[in-house]
Each structure stands twice: as C-alpha cells, then as structure tokens.
Amino acid sequence: MYCGEQFPAEELTLDHVEARVRRGDRSDGNLVSACRACNVRKGHRRLSDFLRESEVARENLFRYAMHVWPRILRKLREEMERY
Ligand SMILES: [Zn+2]
C-alpha cells in the first residue's frame, strides 16, 4: 500500500489504517497490506505523520485505498491539513 512495490503474500503484513491503540477496529475497511519495511517505518505513529513524511506513501494510499472506509479517509485528510 505505501511504497507500491509488489511482494509475495507471506512477506506482507496487515496494517491498521487507524491504529488499534487509537481505537481502530479490525474490519476490512481499516486494513491495508504493507511490506515489513513500510510497517516498521510507520511504527506506532499516526498514519498522517507517516504520510506527511513520505510523498510516495501518501500518493499510493489515496490512489489505492478504495476499500478503506470513507470516514477513515476523511479523518486522515483532516488530520493532514491540520498541521
Ligand atoms: Zn512497502
């Protein structure tokens, strides 16, 4: 999702768009696949902080996240405009 590279399924991790620690749920609309490197780079920060730092990840997320719940994408856009 973030770097846009392709990996075999076993090298991918599931990433919660809205982190579990920030009360994100486990529904499909809150999950994207991420390679391990991206997942580590994102860490436990807010996704908006990670996206602000990486233009590639930002473009890929908004390009490919058609299945992510609209309310989560809306919130993400709002967070990114705030800072
Ligand atoms: Zn990646």
Q: What is the pLDDT of residues 67-81, one digit of tens each?
A: 999 999 999 999 999
Closest by CA position to 50, among listed 23, 7, 25, 18: 18
To the question of pTM greater than 0.75 for the whole model, the response is yes
Q: Which residues surround ligand 1, an ion (CB under 5 A)?
A: 2-3, 35, 38
Neighbours of 28 (CB within 10 A): 10
39 CA to centre of ligand 1 in angstroms: 7
64 CA to centre of ligand 1 in angstroms: 13
User: Which residues of the chain fall short of a pLDDT of 50?
Assistant: none
